[in-house]
Structure 1
Amino acid sequence: MTRSSLQQFMVVSGASTGIGAATARELGSMGYHVLAGVRDDGKAETIRSRRVEPVLLDITEPGHVAALAGRRRLAQP
């Protein structure tokens, strides 16, 4: 089984710039489906790729964290 065949995903907060963006891209290149947390919808498209899905995430907002924890399915890459 290759990493790309795994039905796993990773969550990276602060993924719109810097280390968070680099981490999200690297995990995506390794075959993981990455939920890339961004606080600004305007920056979401800068991180989107085949395996990197931006999600609105401010870890200080309980609703954002609950929505992320409630995910059961992945979008098809």
Structure 2
Amino acid sequence: MPVPAHPRSHRPAADRAEVLPDRAEVRLPWWAVTLPAVAFGALLLMIMSPGQAQAATADPAIGQLIERTLQLLAR
């Protein structure tokens, strides 16, 4: 009985379709699209109207606290 010299290195096309789908299906939650779109819109509005921006009137202690925190994190 003759034996094939080389075994088949690939499967027939019908078997490959089961192993490798034509395209991958990706499903995103609603917030994965909505939140970046809202953030982009907010940033765009801030860029479009910079003349209406006003200086913050916060307590200087908050600024010092943030500065001190950044210095501690940098170490």
TM-score, shorter chain, exceeding 0.5: no
Name the structure with the higher strand share: 1
TM range (shorter): under 0.3
- Larger Cα-atom Rg: 2
Higher RCO structure (Cα 8 Å, ≥6 apart): 1
